Amino acid sequence: MKILVAVKRVIDYNVQIRVKEDGSGVVTDNVKMSTNPPDDNAIEEAVKLKEAGKASEVIVVSVGDEKAQETVRKALAVGADRGILVKAEGMIEPLAVSKILMKIVGKEKPDLVFMGKQAIDDDCNQTGQMLAALLKWPQATFASKIEVKDKSLEVTREVDEGLETIEVNTPAIITCDLRLNEPRYASLPNIMKAKKKPIEQINASDLSVDTKPRIEQIKVEEPPKRKAGIKVASVEELVQKLKNEAKVI
Amino acid sequence: MSVLLISEHNNKEVKPFTYNAISAASQINEDLHVLVLGSNSENVAKSISEVPNVKKVIHVDNSMYENYLAENYTSAITKISENYSHIICSANTFGKNLMPRVAALLDVSQVSDITKVISEDTFLRPIYAGNAFATVKSNDKIKCVTIRPTSFDPAPTTGGSAEIENGNPGDETSLSKFIKKEEIKSDRPELGTARVVISGGRGMQSGENFKLITAVADKLNAAIGASRAAVDAGYITNDHQVGQTGKVVVPDLYIAVGISGAIQHLAGMKESKVIVAINKDGEAPIFSVADYGLEADLFDALPKFLEELNKLNTIQK
């Protein structure tokens, strides 16, 4: 069984986001970038399945600029076998990413595609579901537990009401929740080894996919600032303020 | 052209966020149709027909819709999509799972999780966990939009009498199968719609200690929330998680207990009207968004808080 894992390079989750003064986006120059956090869970799950003898190969793919190669390399350092970087400049919308991934799926013929449930930059939560639709494959989104069966997977999904379990036939798309597993750190020897693993580079423009944005970003602005609050000295004062000042209890 | 809203329900009752989605959808265009895909779901169709904002209910009753699966829902929607300018649903786990599947088949670039309708093609949406807001304009012929339910007031539930039309089911697929849903039943208000929310974080130290939170929640008729750290640690189940990848809540009063206030948690609660933080670390980032901060050990403060609440003659419910 072959697993393709899609990863995205995003601004690190700990970075305080700054909006550009001209309203054209957020500041990304000299800002720490990392793998989108739930994509780390996707890689971990694929590598675990390989270690358990259930997967034969783990291929990692990223769509982005030249630097996204670092993100692919990091996945190789924690156990993916080989990488693919689809080079594309600028903002690539989830619809275009899913069309690119569809081409990669056509070429690599994986049995499963894993990715994070949501990218923490655009917060779109679309790509996995879109890829599933284009491929006419089933989807198991927000997965917090995956059990591999003969020709299907049993997946526990985190939904608003609690947990839902569904069975999806393979091939399938799984989007991973942060609670699926605990991603490992790459060891130094494995980081060295990953440098020798192959990363194939493809230009998005060679895949005949239209990557032009359909959505115009008119402006990006800072959220309204919350008025600074006060510190209260005691529980009594807190309750009194909530009752008489804020009038919420 | 009309707007099509996909309703969320359990075949008996309409899920509350459907009403918020209805009010957002009718801001886009008043000619609003609502699709009900269900099994033995007459009551759902009837309830929705009573919403004054709704002009028509399209009801498809078929056993394949007994349980919601995106694979089965999608084709029923795409088959009628050409009659509509917009397809809308709420950006909760229901809509997040469904809408991109619909959008991709229509070759549409979806606009996710909008918090404001600026015009019929332009919307405001949070990005980077709400640390920035983007104004975006969709240029697709059909617009697929999910709405952040807590940013729109729910539509009134009575007074209307829309026509209920029987629609055609989509293609049944055997790609996926529903097995079970472990729903956590509770008499408390729902987290997403509660007037008061009290949340615990890693500072609670154990699931057992959440009883301190529960006691206050009982007194205030509050829903119980949690930070991701508390859910990851197994103190409480995932349906309580508030934050970027959990639920977004906008209560009148949000009480954060033992929560440091990571960006990802703030994303889910910082629009609350009044925020209280109780934390023994005076430098915790949660204090930067709190209207009232109490620097104290929660194990002393929570019992005292309950005691003080008990002294009050009346408490708003």
Structural domains of chain A, ranges and CATH numbers in brackets: 2-244 (3.40.50.620)
With respect to residue B235, please indicate whether it lies within any of the assigned structural domains: yes
Instruction: Name the band, by pLDDT with cuts 50, 70 and 90, for residue A224.
Output: confident
Q: Which residues of A touch B275 (CB under 8 A)?
A: 226, 229
Same domain, B221 and B141: no
Same domain, B209 and B142: no
pLDDT given for residue B65 in this prediction: 97
Written as one letter, the residue type at A30 is N
Q: Which of A133, A214, A249 is nearest residue B101 as measured by Cβ atoms? A: A133
Residues 6+ apart with CB under 8 A from B283: none
How remote is the C-alpha of A45 from its chain's centroid?
13
Query: Chain A interface, mutation test: which of B93, B240, B269, B286, most A Cβ atoms within 10 Å?
Result: B93
Which secondary structure element, helix H or strand E, spans residue B6, and what is its range? Answer: strand B2-6
How many Cβ atoms from other residues are within 10 Å of residue B286's Cβ? 26
Is the pLDDT at A155 greater than 80? The verdict is: yes
> Cis peptide leading into A171, omega within 30 of 0?
yes
Calculate the alpha carbon distances from A171 to A110, A151, B176 in Å.
8, 8, 11
Q: Which residues of A touch B122 (CB under 8 A)?
A: 218
The CATH code of the domain that includes B270 is 3.40.50.1220
DSSP A34: E
Q: Which residues of A touch B308 (CB under 8 A)?
A: 235-236, 238-239
Q: Which of B112, B175, B296 is nearest residue A125 as measured by Cβ atoms? A: B112
Walk across the sheet containing B111-114 and list its strands. Answer: B111-114, B143-147, B84-90, B2-6, B32-38, B54-61, B163-166
With respect to residue B171, please indicate whether it lies within any of the assigned structural domains: no
**What mean pLDDT do residues A181-186 have?**
96
pLDDT given for residue B11 in this prediction: 98
With respect to residue B148, please indicate whether it lies within any of the assigned structural domains: yes
Same domain, B210 and B153: no
Q: Which two tokens stand for residue B4?
A: 């099509």
Query: Chain A interface, mutation test: which of B92, B101, B148, most A Cβ atoms within 10 Å?
Result: B101
Q: What rounded mean pLDDT belongs to chain A?
A: 96
How far away is chain B from the Cα of A193, in angstroms, using its nearest Cα? 32
Q: What is the pLDDT along chain B (317 residues), one digit of tens a residue?
A: 899 999 999 999 999 999 999 999 999 999 999 999 999 999 999 999 999 999 999 999 999 999 999 999 999 999 999 999 999 999 999 999 999 999 999 999 999 999 999 999 999 999 999 999 999 999 999 999 999 999 999 999 999 999 999 999 999 999 999 999 988 778 899 898 899 999 999 999 999 999 999 999 999 999 999 999 999 999 999 999 999 989 999 999 999 999 999 999 999 999 999 999 999 999 999 999 999 999 999 999 999 999 999 999 787 76
pLDDT given for residue A70 in this prediction: 96
pLDDT given for residue B185 in this prediction: 79
pLDDT digits (tens, 9 = 90+) for A34-64: 999 999 999 999 999 999 999 999 999 999 9
DSSP B286: G
pLDDT given for residue B186 in this prediction: 81
Same domain, B126 and B231: no
- Residue showing tokens 């793998």: A35
Same domain, B235 and B159: no
Closest CA to A77 of A199, A181, A200, A192: A192
The CA distance from B89 to B81, in Å, is 14
With respect to residue B185, please indicate whether it lies within any of the assigned structural domains: no
Q: Which residues of B touch A159 (CB under 8 A)?
A: 93-94, 181, 239
Q: Which residues of B touch A168 (CB under 8 A)?
A: 175-177
Same domain, B227 and B138: no
List the Cα angle B80/B85/B89 in 5-degree steps.
75
Q: Does A143 touch chain B (CB under 8 A)?
A: no
Closest CA to B256 of B272, B235, B239: B272
Q: Which residues of A touch B291 (CB under 8 A)?
A: 227, 229-230, 246
% chain A with pLDDT above 90: 96
Same domain, B225 and B274: yes
Cβ of A229 within 8 Å of Cβ of B292? The answer is yes
Sign, CA dihedral A183-A188-A189-A191, equals: positive
Q: Which two tokens stand for residue A208?
A: 């005949």
Cβ of A235 within 8 Å of Cβ of B108? The answer is no
Cβ of A230 within 8 Å of Cβ of B291? The answer is yes
Q: Which two tokens stand for residue B34?
A: 């609502």
The CA distance from B6 to B38, in Å, is 11
The CATH code of the domain that includes B47 is 3.40.50.620
With respect to residue B27, please indicate whether it lies within any of the assigned structural domains: yes
Among B123, B144, B166, identify where a domain stops. Answer: B166
Residue pair B297/B279 in contact by the 8 Å Cβ criterion: no
Overall number of domains in chain B: 2
Cβ of B181 within 8 Å of Cβ of A165? The answer is yes
Domain, as residue range, for B115: 2-166
Instruction: Identify the burial level of B304 via C-beta atoms within 10 angstroms of its C-beta, where 0-12 means exposed, 13-18 middle and 19 or more buried.
Output: middle
Residue pair A55/A1 in contact by the 8 Å Cβ criterion: yes
Among B115, B149, B166, identify where a domain stops. Answer: B166
pLDDT given for residue A215 in this prediction: 97
Same domain, B157 and B207: no
Same domain, B77 and B131: yes
With respect to residue B243, please indicate whether it lies within any of the assigned structural domains: yes
Same domain, B16 and B86: yes
How remote is the C-alpha of A110 from its chain's centroid?
18
Same domain, B48 and B150: yes
Q: Does A63 touch chain B (CB under 8 A)?
A: no
**What mean pLDDT do residues A71-90 have?**
97
With respect to residue B173, please indicate whether it lies within any of the assigned structural domains: no
Residue in chain A lying closest to B142 (CA): A214
With respect to residue B18, please indicate whether it lies within any of the assigned structural domains: yes
Residue pair B153/B20 in contact by the 8 Å Cβ criterion: yes
Cβ of A123 within 8 Å of Cβ of B244? The answer is yes
pLDDT given for residue B184 in this prediction: 77
Cβ of A235 within 8 Å of Cβ of B308? The answer is yes
Same domain, B245 and B124: no
End-to-end CA distance of chain A: 57
In DSSP terms, which residues pair with B3 in a beta bridge? B32, B86
